[in-house]
């Protein structure tokens, strides 16, 4: 699927929190708080969440809650990398391996892959075919 129903709600919650704050709705039917509460009710069957209530007073805390909710709700669906790019999060964390024994003992092993993500990479390259169609279009810096 291109869009999941839950993704649309999470997109709305993220935007509503940035524009109107956690409980503001800008004249619409739902606030960021209302959307996250509904998602959690559907997924967990709970009506009361003390952490959600705590975050409802602070846009920064609500932003972190929404980002974590996206991480949980959309895991394994190829959203995480694009979310991290959109939020301009640090993408230079090295990939590390884990050794798991039969006794469920987890040991981190050496770095598997070092990653270098430069600031210009937040914006991808424009395809050459598009640049050739319109002469005033310029390639993103660094590409």
Domain boundaries, the chain: 5-86
User: What's the pLDDT tens digit per position in 39-94?
Assistant: 999 988 888 889 999 999 999 999 999 999 999 999 999 999 999 999 999 899 89
How far, in Å, CA of 85 to CA of 73, rounded?
A: 18
User: What's the pLDDT tens digit per position in 2-21?
Assistant: 788 999 999 999 999 999 99
DSSP 119: G
How far, in Å, CA of 104 to CA of 118, rounded?
A: 37
Per the document, the length of the chain is 143
The domain defined by 5-86 carries CATH number 1.25.40.900 = yes
Prediction pTM value: 0.81
């Amino acid at each position: 699927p291109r869009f999941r129903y839950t993704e649309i709600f999470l997109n709305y919650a993220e935007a509503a929190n940035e524009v109107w704050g956690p409980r503001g709705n800008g004249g619409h039917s739902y606030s960021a708080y209302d959307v996250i509460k509904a998602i959690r009710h559907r997924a967990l069957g709970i009506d009361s969440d003390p952490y959600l209530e705590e975050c409802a007073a602070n846009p920064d805390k609500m932003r972190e809650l929404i980002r974590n909710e996206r991480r949980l709700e959309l895991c394994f669906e190829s959203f995480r990398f694009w979310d991290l790019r959109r939020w301009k999060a640090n993408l230079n964390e090295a990939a590390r391996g884990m050794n798991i024994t039969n006794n469920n003992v987890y040991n981190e092993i050496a770095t598997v892959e070092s990653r270098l993500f430069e600031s210009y990479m937040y914006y991808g390259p424009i395809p050459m075919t598009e640049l050739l169609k319109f002469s005033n279009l310029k390639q993103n810096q660094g590409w």
